[in-house]
Amino acid sequence: MVLRKLIVHSFIKSLLNIERRSSVAIFKLPLTTMAAPSLHVSQPEVLVDEKVRVTVTGLRRNQKVTLLSTQVENNKHFASCGHFVADEHGSIDTFLHESHGGTYSGLQPMGLFTSTREPFGTSRLLKLDVSTPYDVTLSIHEDHREFEPLAREYMQSHSAIAETSLKRWYMRPGVRRIVIEEDGIYGALLLPPGEGPFPGIVDVFGMAGGIMDYRAALLASHGFATLSLAYIAYKDLPKKPQDLDINYFLRAVEWFAGQSVVASGGVAMVGHCVGGSLCITTSTLSPHVKVLVSTNGNPFLMINQDIDIDGITMRGINFDVRKCTFTDEGVIQRDGFKEYNLKDRMLPIWRQDIKTLIVVGEEDLCVDPQWQHDFEAVIPHDKKKNFRFVYYPGAGHLIEPPYSPLCKASYNKIIDVIHLWGGEEERHLPAQEDAWREILMFLNTHMTPKSQL
C-alpha cells in the first residue's frame, strides 16, 4: 500500500514537472521566432503616374532604419533614400510616416520617387525606351545612413535587412508602339489596347532632339492614340532651330488626323516649351486641331519664318543665346528675347475656337511666365470661354508627369548650353501632380465623344 502511494506520488510529480517545462517552452516560443523584417509595395507593377505605398513590418519598436531606392537607367545609377522610425508595432508606412532625412524630409508618400537622382553625378532621370519600365529596387538598412555612402555600399554589396522590387511603366500592358517614317514625317505612334478608333493627340516635346515619347506612352495608357512627333536632330530633319518649317507640323497633323485609328472630328496637340509654341502656331493655322494643351510654351512664333494669318504677317522671332543671362550653374534662356515687344506678337489662336489649356510655372527660368499673363490679356473677351490658364507659383519649366524628380538644370545638345529650368521642390512637385490631373481632365472633357462620357 505504501509502495503504491509512492509510485502515484512520483507519477504526479513527473506530470507537474513536464507541465512546468511545457509552460516555459510555450512562453519562450514567441521570443525565439519573431518575424524577420519585411518590405512590401502596394502593387509590384504600376504606371508612373500611380502612387505606390511602401510598408515595412517586423522591426523593433522605435527602430531607426533607412529606406533606399535604387535603379539603373541609360547605364547610370539613380537612387534616393528616406530616414524612418518604426512605430510601436514595429512598422513603417510611407503614406503615414514622415521621413526624418535622406534625400527628402516630411510626409511625402512618393518621396522615394520624386527625390531620385544620380548619387555621383548630375544626369537627369529620363526614360528613353518606353518599352522597358523603371526597374526599382527598394531595400531596408539599419540606422539613419548618409545617402551617397549608403548608395555606393549597396550598389557594391547588395547587402540589406530586406528588399523588394517594383516596376514603374509609362506603357500600360497592351499599348503598342509603332515607329513612323512616312511622307517625310517621323515619330512614334503609341496606341491604346483595343481596335479603336481613339481620340487622337499629336505630342510635341521641347527641343531635345530625336523621338521623346514617354509622355505620349503615358497618354496612350490613358486611352489616347498619340503621335510623338520628331522635328529636330533626327534622320533628315533639321539640325538647328532656325531651319524649322511650320509646314512640316501642318502636314504631320493632317496625316495623323486621317489615320483610321484616330477618331474623326479633329485632334488635340500637346506641347511643352518650344514644342508648346510650335503647337500654338500649328493650331492657329490647322483646321484639324480642336484641342490644345501647352505647358510653358512661348505664345509667339519661335521659328525663323514669317506666316500670313488673315492678311496679317506674323514675323518669326530669332532666339539670341548671346542675350541670355549666363551663370556658373547654367543659362537663363528667357532673356534671349529681350529686344522684342512680345505683346504685339502673340499668336491669335482664338481665331479657330480651339479649346485651349495653358499651364504655367511661375518660377520658369526658360520661358518668362509674364508672357502667359500678356497672352491671356490680349484674348478677345468673347473668346475667353475657350481658354483655361493654370498658374503654379514656385513651379519651374520642366513640368513633367507626376512623381518625376524636379530637374533644375540640364544640358541641351541642340544649342550646346546647360539650361537653368527653375522651380522650388516643395511647390514644383505638387504642381506636377495637379497639372497632370488638369491635363487629363481637359483632354477627356473635350476629346472623348459625348456618348462615351
Give the residue numbers marked as catalytic: 273, 364, 397
Per residue, the 3-state secondary structure of the chain, as one string, reads CHHHHHHHHHHHHHHHHHHHHHHHHHHHHHHHCCCCCEEEECCCEEECCCCCCEEEECCCCCCEEEEEEEEEECCEEEEEEEEEECCCCCCEECCCCCEECECCEECCCCHHHHCCECCCCCCCCCCCCCCCCEEEEEEEEECCCCHHHHHHHHHHHCCCCEEEEEEEECCCCCCEEEEEEECCEEEEEEECCCCCCECEEEEECCCCCCCCCHHHHHHHHCCCEEEEECCCCCCCCCCCHHHCCHHHHHHHHHHHHCCCCECCCCEEEEEECHHHHHHHHHHHHCCCEEEEEEECCCCECCCCCCEEECCEEECCCCCCHHHCEECCCCEEHHHHHCCCCHHHHECCHHHHCCEEEEEEECCCCCCCHHHHHHHHHHCCHHHHHHEEEEEECCCCCCCCCCCCCCCCEEEECCCCEEEECCCCHHHHHHHHHHHHHHHHHHHHHHHCCHHHC
